[in-house]
Amino acid sequence: MSVQQQAGAGAEALEVWIDQDLCTGDGICAQYAPEVFELDIDGLAYVKSADEELLQDRGATTPVPLPLLTDVIDSAKECPGECIHVRRVSDKVEVYGPDAE
Binding site for ligand SF4 (CB under 6 A): 18, 23-29, 37, 45, 75, 79-81, 83-84
**Contact of 92 with 66, CB cutoff 8 Å:** no
2 vs 30, which CB is nearer to ligand SF4?
30
The candidate with the shortest Cα–Cα distance to 83, out of 93, 68, 98, 101, is 98
- Closest contact distance (angstroms) between CB of 31 and ligand SF4 is 8
- Closest contact distance (angstroms) between CB of 8 and ligand SF4 is 24
58 vs 91, which CB is nearer to ligand SF4?
58
Give the whole-angstrom CA distance, residue 79 versus residue 4. Answer: 20
7 vs 75, which CB is nearer to ligand SF4?
75
At residue 95's C-alpha, the angle toward residues 92 and 98, to 5°, is 100
- Closest contact distance (angstroms) between CB of 7 and ligand SF4 is 20
- Closest contact distance (angstroms) between CB of 57 and ligand SF4 is 15
Give the whole-angstrom CA distance, residue 7 versus residue 29. Answer: 19
